[in-house]
Amino acid sequence: MKPTKRTVSLALSLVFIEFTLAKPANPDRIWDVTPSINSSDEYYAGWDQIIVDKEVKVYSGLALNRSYAHHPELFYLNDTVYLSFSSAPIDEDSMGQEVWISTSKDDGLTWTGSHSLLPAALLPNQTNPRNFSYWCEREIAQRAWQALTFVHLPRWGELYAIGQSASIVCPGKYQAAGRIARRVRSDGSPDGEPCWIDRNNWTASQLFSQTIYGTRFGMKTCKRADEINAQLRTPDLAPAWSSWLYNHELFGADGNHSMQEQTHAVWFEDASSPTGGYWQRFWRDISDTEDNSLAVWVEYNQNKDGRGWYPDTLKQYGNPIYQTNIPDGRTKQYLGVLANNGDRYLISNPRSDPDRDRQPLTIAMSRGDDQRYTTIGVLRTNASDSTALGEHKNHGFSYPTAVQVGDKLLVAYSENKENIWVSVVDLTNLP
């Protein structure tokens, strides 16, 4: 049931009474960068360029005759950096989309050739690449895999790459059919076959059993599914997508703005809190253009296990998620914390563009006990105008992910939704 204005107002009051002890930042005062954004500057938005050690193009869509690449995810383990991402022959989240992988043994300076890890889920008569509209016009569900995250199980010494179903039935309605996992070796090669960690009614109706996942891999459930799923529910590891979040709308505290692509949560220590502190995470407003706030939204939780909020609790309304003063270009952010000092970094596209141009890609810093983001710099801008043909393209650099390796911050992102890059930044050069 959709909440009334009175219930939303009451919920807002109760949340901030509850969090008074933990002293979270006022949502209207989180963003305080200097200088202020200059939206008329389409390349830099008025901010300085960050010095980088190296920029590496890990994957080129045009070179491989594949017009789409997006959703990069980074993970570091035992001197190896792992990078997964979505790759499709034609168009975003279209039939035939796979999860690819590459690895680096020198802290992100060089990378192996990319290859498919979670192959396309196609029926025998669907082997010819077609564009997004072809399947839409025929009202055929497009089985697409998105790169979701990595999960490490130290007890067993195993690393898994996770794929999220992003199946779409036009006109643009998601029917996400679950999640799969595949164990990965240190060179990025698969160690065993893909297996399921989550399924629902769409898994059967979309005939996954008649694709390679049934005919070759046997539709098996992962032996470690419960352990993998437990990690995917923790606040600091919960990924940006899920079948439930795709198949349902999740609304902010006002009951009107639709949320998706939450960041990882960051824990703030606070002795005055009953639990010793609280989590903070950000959300993207995916509401329609005319209703979009063009702002990042924020959520707090004092429960160390993330009880009471997504994905522990799945509810469309009554979520204590509030609009901040952080500007947003209607795209995904990445929130991280530096291991050496606890400072927070937010990688995002703050500049809103009427043509949905996603640049510049920036890093903003929140240091020490001050939760405000006060400094910012440009990581990448001025994306190539040479792009492959395809639907649902966005010019620019977007969808960042990051991992700290020693005294370097590695940031991966897509260019024009077809190329995957990694920038290596020395921590001393962060703004």
pLDDT tens digit string along 120-131? 999 999 988 888
The confidence score (pLDDT) of residue 328 equals: 97
The confidence score (pLDDT) of residue 111 equals: 98
pLDDT tier at 257 (50, 70, 90 boundaries)? very high
Contact between 35 and 42 under an 8 Å Cβ cutoff? The reply is: no
392/335: higher pLDDT: 335
pLDDT tier at 390 (50, 70, 90 boundaries)? low
The confidence score (pLDDT) of residue 1 equals: 43
pLDDT tens digit string along 15-72? 333 333 347 889 999 999 999 999 999 999 999 999 999 999 999 988 888 989 999 9
For residue 274, pLDDT beyond 70: yes
For residue 285, pLDDT beyond 90: yes
* High-pLDDT (> 90) share of the chain, %: 81
Q: What's the whole-model pTM score?
A: 0.93
Q: Rounded CA gap, 165 and 185, in Å?
A: 23
**Mean pLDDT computed over every residue of the chain:** 92
Domains of the chain: 31-240+332-429 (2.120.10)
Q: Rounded CA gap, 409 and 197, in Å?
A: 31
The confidence score (pLDDT) of residue 115 equals: 97
pLDDT tier at 7 (50, 70, 90 boundaries)? very low
pLDDT tens digit string along 322-357? 999 999 999 999 999 999 999 999 999 999 988 889
